[in-house]
Amino acid sequence: MTKAPGGGPSAGPPGGKGANDGPSAAQFAGVGLQFALSILVFVYVGNWLDRRFGTAPWMLLAALFFGAGGSFYSMYRKLMAAQEREEKARKARREGMPE
């Protein structure tokens, strides 16, 4: 228990949620930025390849789809891993076992 500003005990953070009640927004804050940056990097590389080999716009389009696909796959894996951790924590709480 923690002490409230008035000196009395406090049950925890406001809203009644504990620190381990699920994934927080901070865990996923960088997902959108990662998605955008990876697409931009792949588009830049595709554009550079098009200028180098004179294949415009094919390398650019291929790089765009490759970057977007890789980003979606990365996001999927992160979200599924977080969901699996949450399910394990929920099951442990149900069974009364510590995480």
pLDDT digits over 24-72, tens only? 676 677 888 888 999 999 999 999 999 999 998 999 999 999 999 999 9
What residue ranges do the domains of the chain occupy? 29-92
Tokens encoding 50: 């098009």
pTM recorded for the entire structure: 0.65
pLDDT for the residue numbered 18: 52
Cβ within 8 Å of residue 85, ≥6 positions away? 23
In this predicted structure, the answer to whether residue 13 has a pLDDT above a threshold of 90 is no
